[in-house]
Amino acid sequence: MDGNGRWAKSRCLSRLKGHEEGAQAARRIVEAVKERNIPYLTLYAFSSENWNRPKDEVEGLFRLLEGFIDKEIDRLKESGVCLHIIGDISKFPSVLIEKVMMSVDKTARNKEIHLSVALNYGGRDEIIRTTRKIISEGLTADSLNQKVFAGYLDTAFMPDPDLLIRTGGEWRISNFLLWQLAYTEIFFTDTLWPDFDEDALERALTWFSSRERRFGMTSEQVRGKEPV
């Protein structure tokens, strides 16, 4: 969800106002994705590198997240959203950790859509934490394979993503889901996150549906598999 700061700057507003507007965009997109019966959505909200931002901004983001949970959690619960957190929130303020865990518990029985929010998330950090878990459980080298490894990742409960949407005009992955993105289609758009609306989502989904996903095979092989 990139571009909140530039959205705000172009309107002579504070960066925090941009993040507030970004939170509203996230709320709308969760709804739009759910309406389209897409079962999994993951939002990259705070990266393991975002700690390097000015203290005011980091604290502002935490306050925003707290306020968002307070305002939205009941509605999310009612609308069938099952909330998951990926990333390592152990370094977050304890009040926020409690709020986040309470929200996860509250929505745990929902099935309509699995909404994962990446908080203090970094793909490299996740891979290291996963490897530590595997070693500490005493798994032998022989018993390790891709499926076993994936089962220890923060994302063990979800399939690999089909589509990644990167807003804000940057053409990079920024340490997001490094393992899981192996065969993901990636849609880059200049649209700044607060402006990312249902039409923009529709454009990304239309582009996605035109992609031929070969997973290492030839085009002929893939087409041969399609029903006639």
Applying CB under 6 A, the residues found at the interface with ligand IPE are: 1-6, 22, 45-46, 50, 168
How far, CA to CA in Å, does 51 sit from each of 45, 46, 63?
12, 9, 14
For the question of residue 74 being annotated catalytic, the response is no
2 is a site residue for Mg ion (CB under 5 A): yes
C-alpha distances (whole Å) from 165 to each of 34, 181, 216 are 16, 12, 22
Residue nearest to Mg ion (CB): 2
Contact present, 58 and 96 (Cβ < 8 Å): no
Name the active-site residue from 2, 4, 120, 154: 2
149 Cβ partners below 8 Å, 6+ apart? 130, 134, 179
Nearer to Mg ion, 21 or 103 (CB): 21
Check if 2 is active-site: yes
Site size for Mg ion, by CB under 5 A?
Answer: 1
Instruction: Find the Cα–Cα–Cα–Cα dihedral 91, 182, 1, 100, rounded to 10°.
Output: -30
6 binds, among ligand IPE, Mg ion, none (CB under 5 to 8 A by kind): ligand IPE
Nearest to 6 by CA among 196, 203, 202: 196
Q: Which stretch binds Mg ion (CB under 5 A): 1-9, 13-21, 108-116, 133-141?
A: 1-9
- Which residue's Cβ lies closest to ligand IPE? 5
DSSP 23-65: HHHHHHHHHHHHHTT--EEEEEEEETTGGGS-HHHHHHHHHHH
* Binding partner of 20, given ligand IPE, Mg ion, none, CB within 5-8 angstroms per partner class: none
Q: Smallest distance from the beta carbon of 226 to ligand IPE, in angstroms?
A: 39
> Which one of Mg ion, ligand IPE, none interacts with residue 4, CB within 5 to 8 A by kind?
ligand IPE
Catalytic positions are: 2, 50
Binding site for Mg ion (CB under 5 A): 2
